[in-house]
Structure 1
Amino acid sequence: MDIQEEQARIVKEFELLQDWPERYKYIIKLGSRLDPMNEEDKTEDNLVKGCQSQVWLKADEENNSIRFQADSDAAITKGLVALLVRLYSGHSPDEILNTDPEFINKIGMAQHLSPTRANGLASMVKQMKIYAMAFKARQNIR
């Protein structure tokens, strides 16, 4: 699925939910469905800086695309990172670098996150884009 189609799909899913308590439950549910991350990958190097809770993010290259794995020790944060993994995983570095997570504003999430969670979400996006830049640079060297 194209990255923009995935964003549109996320927006549609959230439009079906009536209110923010229901949306938060859905975010938590998405986090609970996140593929488990290996304990040995939960290292200091994989911790996302700028998050109040602990968020681990790992990226691997697979057929010129990036596969992300993530986990968090906080339920809502884990759901937020699950949405980002869903959006960006399986896409090329260029697609990731050229796509901002617009669904965040389209579903009204930006207005419903505490400042610390919003900063953490921005840090997660930034880290994913840093991985994309690194993989792109590596691809250009080959």
Structure 2
Amino acid sequence: MSRLSVLSNPLLLGFEEIERLIDRTGKGANEGYPPYNIERIAAQSGEKEKLRITVALAGFLRDQLEITVEDNQLVVRGRQQDDKSREYLYRGIAARQFTRTFVLADGIEVQSAELSNGMLAIDLVRHEPHRLVRRIEIENG
């Protein structure tokens, strides 16, 4: 059984990739850990406007985190190891692993990432696409 979507309109050619990205975004929407914010940072002193993703990662060290861009997706991964040398009487803070994925539009570039006081800030910039107008010559058949 085929699925119909807004992007299956016959006048929208080549938008299968966007539909795939929308499907991928919906699959990860129910994840609650780690919590995050997304904010818009206004352009200042000649710089472009930025987007900032802030992820709350209390207890994670820099070498336990990995940030990659894969196929228009920003992927933040964290891996903590249990400290076998500690003897817990009560353990309410678990060592955990996570993967948090953000789908990026074309032209969005990761500018920087900084971990400070348990908060990971990732700055993104949007590059304006070059507008291309091309005249197509019609040949005689």
TM-score of the superposed pair, with normalisation by structure 1: 0.29
Greater helix percent: which structure? 1
Greater strand percent: which structure? 2
Tell me: higher relative CO, structure 1 or 2? Use CA pairs within 8 A at least 6 residues apart: 1
